[in-house]
Structure 1
Amino acid sequence: MTNDFAQITLDFETEWTEFFREGAPDLWPQDLREEMEPVMHRIYTEVNNGVYRCGFAGEQEAYDKAYDRLFTALDWLEERLAGQRYLMGDTITEADVRLFTTLARFDPVYHGHFKCNRSKLTEMPVLWAYARDLFQTPGFGDTTDFTQIKEHYYVVHTDVNPTQIVPKGPDLAGWATPHGREKLGGRPFGDGTPPGPPPEAERVPTKDNPLVGPDGMVQVEA
């Protein structure tokens, strides 16, 4: 048993394969693991955890250092993703899943609530296109509940936001706009197949993700 989130997902991908659906993609491919490990480590320490170091810094110097480390890593990701569709090349892997969770929260939460405000995600062209590409891929945007995300952070973190006021923005419409990253090629699910829409009982309500249609799928602009 473990409560280490980083190990839990890898355990799912290696120890629980008998419970996979038919056609489930391999997110932790054996031939990429050596290269993936340092990439995922940097994403965790500098991005996933980096926003928290900014948000919960107790003094200016600590915040300044955390801020610089975060945006150094985001600039590195902009450069890495400029010429390839996904973090490890042509297919989605665990590394992309881990990065997406922070990118989806960046403008609704981290930019303002955690003072990660050098740039919005929408102002980082490569990462913004990459995030939209993933969002519009089955299994990503169709399970993203923006209302829950905002209410959790702005209500729970009373030391950061003592008023518990939840902002109305940002406008989410851009998530469904064309991203153009298909020109980089690739096969999102590799030799696997995409998941179907979430079960009806697990669908994100339209009020919590206005880009999800009644069928549970993200509605993409033509």
Structure 2
Amino acid sequence: MSGIVETTGTQTPRQHPDGQAKSRLPEVDAERDGSVRHALLSAALEVFTERGYTEAGLNEIATRSHIPLGSLFQHYGGKRGLYLALWEEFREEQERRTAATLAAERDRGVDDPIALFVAGARAYLEGAWDNRRLAMLLVEDDGPAGFDALRRQWDRAWVQRNARLLEVDEKLRVGRVRVRVLTTVIGGAARELGDCADEREAREIVDEVCGILIHLSAPAG
């Protein structure tokens, strides 16, 4: 999963799963296009969750979305494109959530690296609970070919961002290991949230994990 991030203040055109930038559409067409994409992604999430990625059928996704199969291929190219678009949607929402939290904390005068890191982690975990169906789907082993490599790449970037936030020198092994452990704790907790019975239990886990992160974040000595 993607993790605690800070925006740079610049925006690049959103990319299709095949790497091509979206062209600008007239406002009415863009609204219609957005509705079609939302319907397709919602249906894909339902079918992927119920049947797994491998067993999911494009005809069923098209039927549930009430969108013609041809439009599905036009927008996403197939199952892999749908899956990667769901991942991008989750990742972008998590990034917006954590970046907004960090900005709000800094506006309040918080500048302690550990306090900022834990605040960002809390926002990320709360997002994982709010979007738990999608979060759980994306950590399963049943995904499109090549997705594990992409996930590992994003995870490495997550560790690097956390190191910058904690002001840890990744060139030092002890600092690098500490950040990797902290990142693993957050990722593992996000998976546990998917099995929570209700919001009360989820909040207990988030509070517990944040306490663990505070303890583990303190430099040795």
Q: TM-score, normalised by structure 1?
A: 0.31
Q: TM-score, normalised by structure 2?
A: 0.31
- Indicate the structure whose relative CO is greater, using CA pairs within 8 Å and at least 6 residues apart: 2
Greater radius of gyration (CA): 2
